[in-house]
Amino acid sequence: MSSQLTERAVQTATTTCPYCGVGCGVEASLLGAHLQSVKGDARHPANLGRLCVKGSALAETLTTSHRMLQPQIGAQAVLWEQALEAVATGLQQTIAQYGPDSVAFYLSGQLLTEDYYVANKLMKGFIGSANVDTNSRLCMASAVVGHKRAFGADAVPACYEDIELADLVVIVGSNLAWAHPILFQRLSAAKEAKGTRVVVIDPRHTDTAELADLHLAIAPGSDVWLYNGLCRHLLERGCIDAAFVAQSVDGFTELQGHLHHPQYELASVAVRTGLAMDVLQQFFAWVEHHPRTLTLFSQGVNQSSQGTDKVNAIINSHLLTGRIGKPGAAPFSVTGQPNAMGGREVGGLANQLAAHMDFASDDVDRVGRFWQAAQMARQPGLKAVELFEAVEQGQIKAIWIMATNPVVSLPQADRVKAALAKCPLVIVSDAVQDNDTLRLAHIRLPATSWAEKDGTVTNSERCISRQRGLIPGPGAARNDWWIITEVARRMGFAEAFDYQHPVDIFREHAALSGFENDGQRAFDISLLENISRTEYDQLQPVQWPLSQRHPRGMQRLFGNGQFYTVNGRARLLCVEGGEQRKGVPDHYPLLLNTGRIRDQWHTMTRTGYVPRLLQHRAEPFVAVHPQDLKRLKLQEGDLAEVASRDGSVIVRIREDGGQQPGQVFIPMHWNGVFSAQARVDTLVAARLDPFSGQPEFKLTQVRLQRFDQQWQGVLLATEEVEMAGLPYWTRMPLSNGWMWRVASREPLTALADALCERYGQASMALNGAAGAEWRLAWFRDGRLTTLLFVSNQQLPQIDTSFLAEQLNQQPDASVRRTLLLGRVLEQGPHQGPLVCSCFQVDAGAIQTALNAGCNSVEALGSKLKCGTNCGSCIPELKRMVRAAQAQAEEAA
Ligand SMILES: Nc1nc2c(c(=O)[nH]1)N[C@H]1C(S)=C(S)[C@@H](COP(=O)(O)OP(=O)(O)OC[C@H]3O[C@@H](n4cnc5c(=O)[nH]c(N)nc54)[C@H](O)[C@@H]3O)O[C@H]1N2
Ligand SMILES: Nc1nc2c(c(=O)[nH]1)N[C@H]1C(S)=C(S)[C@@H](COP(=O)(O)OP(=O)(O)OC[C@H]3O[C@@H](n4cnc5c(=O)[nH]c(N)nc54)[C@H](O)[C@@H]3O)O[C@H]1N2
Ligand code: SF4
Ligand SMILES: [Mo]
């Protein structure tokens, strides 16, 4: 820890952001055991000092009020000794009675590499089953299989610098602006500096598409058609690196024959992809004429029943043209989670072993000898969705879930919930006290989390960075590696799990990567196998491979035309376009797409507790094209019920011209802790990619109808309020309490009665026209504790930020008078959602500035400061500037 001497002895230390796979370096300022603030680490190669909105808010996520502080068995808080004993005995008894395959682990790309390594070792080497899978199955599995099919190894050829070096960047199925904001900023800067061309391929017009010179609003699921069409074009135009193909690539003649079929002619591809022929020609020509083409892809590609084929269709275009492992030219799978890559390196998936080995008998033998394994698993285990089906069917009788929330994030989420509810032993290690999965656990284990734990993570460009434990964990929380190790010891494997510190695990992991490797396995970090504790603590970001052969790491792979297949040659794959999924007329006419929003992370267990991160999008919503709204006689702000064959949710409607008619989008984040009925994965079917087992999260047939509430409203309270029975509620944190939006088909009485029972008669009440509106306030000892505003019409027009400021205060008479009006008029109501979280600038203020003549993002920045810190809102600001200009032109 480098110390900076100031009078208050603030120290700074570097670590890595725990959110997305960009893996930004973070510099934390610490005052004793308190982490005060963060900023970007200027020396980290991923971000060079920048942080996005989520990274910038990291210090605000460290409140401990919602953290799990004690191990618990049932409802009982217990000591660690009892909890560990219960886990070890529970697993042992299950194995003794039903065999090793009756137990399972379900892990996460949010574990550190060291946590992941020991969990995988325990299951595959000592329990003797491969029933250990991870949420990476939902995330990167198709990319893994695609890489292995093409390159013979799961290795990402590119590095971030390629973003600056490319002349054409094609972004396929990725909302980079929101999901990998710092890479998006690097691309925006490169475009500004040297005019990089950008193509975005996404059914939605996203903030990422704002940067595009060409946006292809592709028919959902049709990417293989597009890329087969592109490859055919490249073949026809002779845009092939013949020498590279001859020397390093197999399958050329087969692919040529495959693509010769008339179905891959331009006109046919146009029909299949829903794209105009001239748009396709433009895209094809750009790729043809830009040797430095970089293709970034993410979940619009992976999360598909054709995910693996999509990945290979993209890679085909790079192999044909020899654009791989060269500066600015490569296919680049951007990874989701902070340690998606680390998990793949340790073999966290059920069909991998460890250190890039599979279940070939040589590999099993090699890993078995290295681990001195008591009982090696000999064949692949169950993949995530199958694994929970085995829980449902009673084959798996004990499951240990770590750092993931499957009751929210797996398809057919209610089925997963029911399966866990009847599983005899559910163990969950998590950082928070409450989430949908923890509610079903028999044993709950409190884990330390970001800034509290030590270890390593690997980002999208194969760069290994340290996450550092800078502050103590809350209560009795312990590190995941420690918890797993202690259980392993109690199961009789003390010798093999004799670790004292994460560095011991890291050394073993590094040694295994080089063990009998001889250059046959891409993942090799054996140069670090003897790293000292001090070197580990001071480890600087470094890209793998890192071995005798490559002592300085490698920025790019495969530039030399050498691959990891048996004959060393890459493979082109003949992949088929497949049938297009359409809506089911009358029943499920719409196609549902799901994904992320800018300011939330996954199931909200961290970002859901930070007030400013819920002001950009405050409620679970469904984004719908204006035409569909008109047809359905619905409008922005209405509540809607969205249903599929598997389930239904109730969410707020957002009008969104960026959607295609017939397609809707719901974010993946909201869950049972933050909303009544908004877990979107209750709608999603378990349709899987046949090779990777990755679910199709982006394409579900649904219908949408109005939710006919009798009333709706807003509740603000300093304390938690039980929402029992309300079909719609969603909550967001305030600095001094919570705010709920509520609605029901039943009379208001239940909620009002519950509040009166708890707080007594309301101190102030206002009953609007014809009893249609109620406004109630409760005070305790002069302090405002609770406010309820309800109406049988639209949500009441009130200034919720003004009201939130009054909570827990003793408002004077003048404020009291205006309280139930819901606003202080002279202050001006806040208008619309917060666009810039850093400087709290809302859409209303931006619109006012635009009307007053601000005509660029820079002008808005100098007037309002918006967009001048983390930059995450710049795409949205651009869109608003453009809309204002269009309006002005129309008026003129
Ligand atoms: N803010 C935020 N950032 C995150 C995360 C988060 O929770 N919040 N999570 C991280 C994780 S784990 C991951 S995996 C990444 C995911 O990062 P992304 O993959 O960029 O994010 P998504 O929103 O899931 O989906 C990407 C886009 O795919 C598009 N799409 C849907 N169907 C198709 C299709 O058939 N073809 C094409 N070409 N596109 C399609 C969607 O419209 C969507 O805009 O984000 C990471 N970053
Ligand atoms: N519909 C739909 N569903 C999706 C997706 C989609 O695009 N659409 N995307 C999928 C993808 S790509 C992903 S990656 C998944 C993500 O889905 P999940 O993995 O289920 O989501 P998280 O909320 O990140 O869950 C992480 C949990 O770990 C806890 N935690 C945090 N830090 C630690 C720690 O250090 N140790 C332990 N033990 N626990 C910790 C958190 O409190 C939280 O409960 O969702 C998938 N599901
Ligand atoms: S882009 Fe944002 S969320 Fe992703 S690692 Fe960097 S700071 Fe964290
Ligand atoms: Mo992910």
- Name the residue among 324, 321, 313 with its Cα closest to residue 235: 321
- The rounded percent of the chain whose pLDDT value lies above 70 is 97
Q: How confident is the model at residue 723 (pLDDT cuts 50, 70, 90)?
A: confident
Pairwise CA distance, residues 131 & 144, whole Å: 18
Which ligand 3 atom is at minimum distance from the Cα of 22? Answer: 5
pTM: predicted TM-score of the whole model, two decimal places: 0.95
Pairwise CA distance, residues 624 & 663, whole Å: 7
pLDDT > 80? residue 825: no
Q: Are 28 and 187 in contact (CB under 8 A)?
A: no
Which ligand 1 atom is at minimum distance from the Cα of 304? Answer: 35
pLDDT score, position 9: 82
Least confident of 434-448, 666-680, 791-805: 791-805
pLDDT score, position 111: 97
CA–CA–CA angle 136, 142, 147 (5° rounding): 110
What is the Cβ-side half-sphere exposure of residue 363, based on CA atoms within 13 angstroms?
A: 19
436 CA from centroid of ligand 2 (Å) = 12
pLDDT score, position 4: 46
| Residue whose pair of structure tokens reads 């005070």 in the numeric block | 779
pLDDT score, position 830: 53
Which ligand gives the minimal distance to the CA of 206?
Answer: 1
- Name the residue among 354, 352, 421 with its Cα closest to residue 383: 352
Which ligand 1 atom is at minimum distance from the Cα of 601? Answer: 7
Task: Name every residue whose Cβ is closer than 8 Å to that of residue 262 and which is 6 or more positions away in sequence.
Answer: 268
Express each pLDDT in 267-298 by its tens digit: 999 999 999 999 999 999 999 999 999 999 99
Task: Name every residue whose Cβ is closer than 8 Å to that of residue 811 and which is 6 or more positions away in sequence.
Answer: 784, 819
Express each pLDDT in 189-215 by its tens digit: 999 999 999 999 999 999 999 999 999
Nearest CA to ligand 1 atom 20: 174
Paired tokens of 172: 């396929």
Pairwise CA distance, residues 823 & 815, whole Å: 9
Paired tokens of 389: 């089906």
Q: How confident is the model at residue 766 (pLDDT cuts 50, 70, 90)?
A: confident
Nearest CA to ligand 1 atom 6: 601
pLDDT score, position 760: 85
Q: Are 85 and 315 in contact (CB under 8 A)?
A: no
Which ligand 1 atom is at minimum distance from the Cα of 204? Answer: 42
Task: Name every residue whose Cβ is closer than 8 Å to that of residue 662 and which is 6 or more positions away in sequence.
Answer: 583, 589, 590, 591, 625, 628
Q: Are 644 and 701 in contact (CB under 8 A)?
A: yes
Express each pLDDT in 80-132 by its tens digit: 999 999 999 999 999 999 999 999 999 999 999 999 999 999 999 999 999 99
Q: Are 221 and 273 in contact (CB under 8 A)?
A: no
Express each pLDDT in 404-424 by its tens digit: 999 999 999 999 999 999 999
pLDDT score, position 742: 94
DSSP state of 124: I
Q: How confident is the model at residue 796 (pLDDT cuts 50, 70, 90)?
A: low
Which ligand gives the minimal distance to the CA of 337?
Answer: 1
Pairwise CA distance, residues 746 & 304, whole Å: 40
Express each pLDDT in 693-714 by its tens digit: 999 999 999 999 999 998 899 9
Q: What is the 3-state secondary structure (H, E, C) of 377-398?
A: CCCCCCCHHHHHHHHHCCCCCE
Q: How confident is the model at residue 870 (pLDDT cuts 50, 70, 90)?
A: confident
How does strand 711-717 pair with strand 783-791? Answer: antiparallel
Conformational region of residue 117, where left means phi above 0, alpha means psi within -120 to 50, and beta covers everything else: alpha
Q: How confident is the model at residue 751 (pLDDT cuts 50, 70, 90)?
A: confident
| Residue whose pair of structure tokens reads 């791989």 in the numeric block | 324
Listed as own residue / partner, the contacts of 83-88 with beta carbons closer than 8 Å and 24 or more positions apart are 83/443, 83/445, 84/483, 84/486, 84/487, 84/490, 85/490, 86/443, 87/400, 87/427, 87/443, 87/445, 87/487, 87/490, 88/487, 88/490, 88/491
Q: What amino acid occupies position 497?
A: F
pLDDT score, position 775: 85
Express each pLDDT in 733-743 by its tens digit: 999 999 999 99
Which residues approach ligand 2 with their CB closer than 6 A? 108, 110, 135, 138-139, 299, 303, 336-337, 402-406, 408-409, 429-432, 435, 447, 449, 453, 480, 594-595, 602-603, 605, 668, 680-681, 684, 697
Paired tokens of 276: 């105009």
Q: Are 406 and 416 in contact (CB under 8 A)?
A: yes
pLDDT score, position 8: 65
Paired tokens of 652: 């707020």
Nearest CA to ligand 1 atom 18: 174
Q: How confident is the model at residue 826 (pLDDT cuts 50, 70, 90)?
A: very low
- Say which residue, 642 or 763, is predicted with more confidence: 642
What's the mean per-residue pLDDT of the chain? 94
Our mutation pick for probing the ligand 1 site, out of 54, 171, 174, counting the most ligand atoms within 8 A of Cβ, is: 174
Express each pLDDT in 572-612 by its tens digit: 999 999 888 899 998 999 999 999 999 999 999 999 999 88
**What number is the average pLDDT over the span 295-303?**
98
CA distances from 713 to 258, 618, 716, 721, 762 (A): 59, 14, 10, 15, 16
Could you give the 3-state DSSP secondary structure of residue 886? helix
How does strand 737-744 pair with strand 728-734? Answer: antiparallel
Pairwise CA distance, residues 590 & 354, whole Å: 42
All domains of the chain, ordered by start, with CATH? 2-61 (3.30.200.210), 86-137+340-456+472-502 (3.40.50.740), 141-333 (3.40.228.10), 590-706 (2.40.40.20), 711-827 (no CATH), 834-891 (1.10.10.1100)
Express each pLDDT in 14-32 by its tens digit: 999 999 999 999 999 999 8
Nearest CA to ligand 2 atom 20: 405
CA distances from 817 to 406, 443, 736, 800, 822 (A): 48, 51, 22, 16, 10
pLDDT score, position 874: 92
Task: Name every residue whose Cβ is closer than 8 Å to that of residue 440 and which is 6 or more positions away in sequence.
Answer: 407, 417, 420, 421, 426
pLDDT score, position 823: 64
